Structure 1
Amino acid sequence: MMNNPLPIRDLLVPGKRAHLAGIGGVSMCPLAEVLHGMGLQIQGSDMNESDTVEHLRSLGISVAVGHNADNLGDCDLVIRSAAIHDGNPEIAGAVARGIPVYERAQAWGAIMQHYPNALCVSGTHGKTTTTSMCTHIFMAAQADPTVMIGGTLPLLRSGYRVGKGDTIILESCEYCNSFLSFFPTVAVILNVEPDHLDFFKDLQDIEHSFHKFAALVPPAGSVIVNADNPGAMESVEGLPHPVFTFGLDHPADCTAANLTEEDGRPVFDIFIRGKKYAHVTLHVYGRHNVLNALAAAAAAHALGLPGRAVEEGLAAFAGAGRRFEHKGTYHGAELYDDYAHHPDELHALLTTARELGCKRLVVAFQPHTYSRTAKLFDRFVEELKLPDVTILAEIFAAREQNTLGISSADLCRNIPGAVYCSTLEKVTEQLRQVAQPGDLILTVGAGDIYRAGEALLRQEK
């Protein structure tokens, strides 16, 4: 963290010039647009040209490709993504010139202080889906929220919106303790599992971080936690004010009753402290999405929304981008794409897909980061034995260098029948060879594995 003389909120005012390092990132792009809309002069840099970069340029935001200290120009402050480290030439250049450097999360934290209600959705997984469900509910209630999601929501045609209501809804990530820069009035904790072990020491360290996040909520606010997840419950032990729980398997303040399925999709009543709040028909699959819906409903209840808004909002929710997203059909096989990159997410995704009655489940998986693959190796092997056909793309490096000497080929050797592909082009070719009518094909991972599926669909035309 840089040693800055001023809190960032003092600099986020009209007329100031902010340079965003890593401006093309999933939460940096909306930040750029929000600050631009607030009257700041925004510029930035990113490593590559992209649709996002072109979009920002279309708004009059200058974006340089590549990181160079000369890109800073006469900016008043620098905001960086979590992937930009101290050794980056723009960060080093800013420090040398006395230009204050802030983290992305600090900027979002400053923005949310302008809202009476700050709904922050956290957890190892399920954040994007639950934040999207909350958005649908608040939009159904005509609450005109401001939103920041770590993915694309079809309702918004993007991952964010700037509203004029009194609520901001943010997906809140624990990596590098980012969410500790936030100011939640409602904090949702979906689950707490071992992840981001390149930063956290162990599960206890992660639980401690979530505890500090929950403790940020003021006494008049709400902490909403999954009663079915031991790590989540452990993280709120000893909080000075009560927590509000949701769950299916353990006693909870918010739970589901009369749970049935229609065409595989969950239908249920939501009860809050013994009183019926809403009747919900989901259009997304899986028990994990029932829990996500309960979390979103609990947040809506905490902020005084009627059950009708929950019913309408969830009925209109058909999934977020890259969350079991149907992409098309190839030679009679249905192709879906999903962002899952943790073993728990893989398990929920693959078991749900299995229940849809496909002829075969064909999965092309791209592990995300070397450290996660190495530290959760055995868990990945276990889950990747579930599909009928497993194809492994090379590990997506993201922010890392391969100092561990690990490869997806190592996973492949431990999964009977699995196929390793060193490039996405080879993944596409392998999918083309194995696809059969009645198959459910899944491209899975937080990197660019979706490109392999999109290339396959182009061959259908």
Structure 2
Amino acid sequence: MALSIKPYIENKETIHLIGIGGVSMNSLAELLLSMGVPVTGSDRASSPVTERLERLGAKITYAHLPENVEGAALIVRTAAVHDDNPEIIRARALGVPVMERAEAWGHLMRDYRNVVCLSGTHGKTTSTSMMTLIMMAAKLDPTVMVGSHLPAIDGTLRIGGKGYFVAESCEYTNSFLKFAPTVAVVLNIEEDHLDFFKDIDDIIHSFRAFCELTPMGGMVVANADDENVLRCVRGLDRTVRTFGLSAGADVRADEITDENGYYRFTVLVGGKPYARVRLSVPGRHNMMNALACCAAAEFLGVPGEAAEQGLEAFTGSSRRFQLVGKMACGATVVDDYAHHPSEMCATLAAAREMDFSRILCAFQPHTYTRTKALFNEFVCALERCDQAVLAPIYAAREQNTIGVSSHDLAEKVAGAVAFDSFEEIAAYLRKEARAGDLILTMGAGNINEVGPMLLDE
């Protein structure tokens, strides 16, 4: 019989989470604690997130030790925790079942009537956040799992009713194939995570399988302006609703105006006006994210006024074009999580539409495999700012067996400089920045530490 988390929850047996401080894992822990389940966990270091879980009743050890799993009835691990982890080895020896995080979420989702899963190479966190605020404006009391701190819910988890679940859904290691969407949203599909996927065809195949998880009465929401997404849904035996700026899209934007990078537009569903949207986050890419959310919301019976209110109320989530502050010289410091060339281009395009004299981008590449595989695309993206300032590559789960570095990128981008530490980057930017400039720290690692250093002058 397939392993399920449900019996352990019903019997209030102890569930142990390895990597409990991770974004999706800490949300899972909080949800389990809210159900009265005893939760233990382990991670490498304490954080505000783990401290919060401890206050809620979780017992956490800050080291991966075999004895951590003693007394647990079930182990849940992140994809980053492998079979050679001492806790996994001990659990196997004791005969304690082990489950992946995405699998656990998939079982929990099946308790909800409507499950909106938002996927794509980029835009997932923003769109999940937008969808959350739309549902909250409609007073639908959604349960939410999102990949970045969302001020409106004061975290990454919102525990609501059983009618609606809104979930950020990541393709890496095929995690989202464990989910249970009734509405599957595909924002875009590009080459990424090539340490796991073979090529673009493999990625499209994975997204296709994700779309096929939706029931016959559900819906797939697909980007009409993305050729890879259209390939993914071609011939799909599910109801497909397209969104985009092209005339043939089922849900599209009309009467578009751009006010200093912030878009205003009418959303047409099947040619009829659904909502008049005023976005509070900049960029054309956010208009696309909003259209995707409107396509899902209208299908679920959400009134257009709620979509308008929710989208206007969304001012961003943590590390998504987030204002850090102003430098003494008058330059504006903003932080953004973009780490794929397309995300970088979208963020830099949004910044270009705003009233800055120059854009200085401090970029930290994320993983050696991504940097190598998309090297030329990174060069093109970095050429869109006035000066690129490069930090060392953030290794994440990798070793540098490829022999690629940020200095290699700097050599190919006109005017770019590369440094070996954040201190050097901060010193350089303090020297170069002037009034009217945008200093944009960018990347999925810890480059966000540079912004506050610029304000501590």
Query: If the TM-score is normalised by the length of the shorter chain, which range does it land in?
Result: over 0.9
For residues 94 and 366 of structure 2, the distance between their equivalents in structure 1, rounded to whole angstroms, comes to 36
For residues 277 and 76 of structure 2, the distance between their equivalents in structure 1, rounded to whole angstroms, comes to 41
Task: For residues 72-116 of structure 1, give each alpha carbon's deviation from its aligned partner in whole angstroms, at most 9, with x where no partner exists.
Answer: 121011111121112111112211221111111011111111100
Equivalent residue pairs, number: 456
What is the correspondence of 1:347-362 to structure 2 with a 5 Å cutoff? Answer: 347-362=345-360
* Aligned partner letter, 1:259: I
1:390 aligns to 2:388 (yes or no)? yes
For residues 403 and 11 of structure 1, the distance between their equivalents in structure 2, rounded to whole angstroms, comes to 42
Secondary structure of 1:191's counterpart equals: coil
Q: Aligned Cα RMSD in Å?
A: 1.2
* Aligned partner letter, 1:357: D
Which residue is 1:85 aligned to? 82
**CA separation of 1:207 and 1:5: change in aligned 2, threshold 3 A:** closer
TM-score where L is the length of structure 1: 0.97
Task: For residues 396-415 of structure 1, give each alpha carbon's deviation from its aligned partner in whole angstroms, at most 9, with x where no partner exists.
Answer: 11122222222212211212
Which residue is 2:374 aligned to? 376
CA apart distance, 1:204: 0.3
Q: Tell which deviates more after alignment, 203-212 or 391-400.
A: 391-400
Which residue is 1:125 aligned to? 122
Contact 1:14 1:39 in 2 (8 A): no
Unaligned 5+ runs, structure 1? none
Which residue is 1:458 aligned to? 456
For residues 229 and 159 of structure 1, the distance between their equivalents in structure 2, rounded to whole angstroms, comes to 29
Task: For residues 284-332 of structure 1, give each alpha carbon's deviation from its aligned partner in whole angstroms, at most 9, with x where no partner exists.
Answer: 1111111100000011011111111101111111111111011100020
For residues 54 and 34 of structure 1, the distance between their equivalents in structure 2, rounded to whole angstroms, comes to 16
For residues 373 and 250 of structure 1, the distance between their equivalents in structure 2, rounded to whole angstroms, comes to 36
Task: For residues 121-155 of structure 1, give each alpha carbon's deviation from its aligned partner in whole angstroms, at most 9, with x where no partner exists.
Answer: 00000001110000010000011100011011111
1:237 aligns to 2:234 (yes or no)? yes
What is the correspondence of 1:261-410 to structure 2 with a 5 Å cutoff? Answer: 261-330=258-327, 331-410=329-408
Contact 1:227 1:250 in 2 (8 A): no
Give the one of 60, 63, 66 matched to 2:60. 63
CA apart distance, 1:10: 2.8
CA apart distance, 1:14: 4.7
Which residue is 1:18 aligned to? 15
Which residue is 2:73 aligned to? 76
Contact 2:246 2:252 in 1 (8 A): no
Contact 1:13 1:39 in 2 (8 A): no
TM-score where L is the length of structure 2: 0.97
Which runs of 4 or more aligned residues in structure 1 lie more than 4 Å from their structure 2 counterparts after TM superposition? none
Task: For residues 9-33 of structure 1, give each alpha carbon's deviation from its aligned partner in whole angstroms, at most 9, with x where no partner exists.
Answer: 3333352111111111111111110
Task: For residues 341-360 of structure 1, give each alpha carbon's deviation from its aligned partner in whole angstroms, at most 9, with x where no partner exists.
Answer: 00000000111111212111
1:211 aligns to 2:204 (yes or no)? no
Secondary structure of 1:152's counterpart equals: strand
Give the one of 419, 432, 457 matched to 1:434. 432
CA apart distance, 1:420: 1.1
Unaligned 5+ runs, structure 2? none
For residues 323 and 58 of structure 1, the distance between their equivalents in structure 2, rounded to whole angstroms, comes to 28
Contact 1:14 1:38 in 2 (8 A): no
**CA separation of 1:97 and 1:306: change in aligned 2, threshold 3 A:** same
**CA separation of 1:254 and 1:278: change in aligned 2, threshold 3 A:** same
Give the one of 35, 39, 44 matched to 2:41. 44
